[in-house]
Amino acid sequence: MHTILQGKRLIAFDLDGTLIDSVPDLAVGVQRALQEVGLAQPSEDQVRDWVGNGAQVLVERALTWALNVAPEAMLQQNAYEAFMRHYGAAPNALTKLYPGAFEALHALHEAGFVLALITNKPERFIAPILSHFGVLALFTSTVGGDSLAEKKPSPLPLLHVAHTLDIAPSASVMVGDSRHDIAAGKAAGFSTGALPYGYNHGDPIEQSHPDLIVASLRELVS
């Protein structure tokens, strides 16, 4: 196991951009939602830079791009509901686990680490996606972006999981791909691990100064 895991008990993972590449399905959901409300549709690459702050913000960013101004509340709600319907109909059609994720999760679980999933994705999508990839049973706790009063970059979801599982933050690691994951981890007192291949709004993850950067989750168990 990697040295960052020495003395640790809890490993919390982000989902989108860390364990799964979900942008192809998210982009389809966004495109169909904007088409439904009569607006131009963004490309998949554009959607990739908008992911990370939850579904509401994703839809807001897409609408703002299409309108060149912030959307009115009713349009935001209509587009959000359309996105949730379209994305929810097929959240795994094009989504894939990143190479090494399946093996790393199983190895960490078998080694006795407690695994948690802390994502800004709406809670309703977590179990179907993890079940689809055969890893749901590996996680002791899962928290979505609408599970609590705050989401990442707030430390609240991380502290909630640590408290619920009775594991000290100092014995915990947050692994993610964006500045929101690293900021939440640092504020919660977790060690932080980062991956450079995910969704960080086009910025290098090095700028967030995580404790560790690994090219693949395999490096955590090598």
Q: Which residues contact 170 (CB under 8 A, 6 or more apart)?
A: 189
Concerning whether 14 is annotated as a catalytic residue, the answer is: yes
- Pinpoint the alpha helices (H) of 111-178: 126-132, 156-165
Catalytically annotated residue among 14, 21, 25, 181: 14
Residue 154 dihedral angles phi and psi, to the nearest 5°: -60, 145
β-sheet bridge partners, residue 213: 194
Q: What is the end-to-end Cα distance of the chain in Å, rounded?
A: 6
Count CA within 13 A, CB hemisphere, residue 147.
22
Q: Cite the active site residues.
A: 14
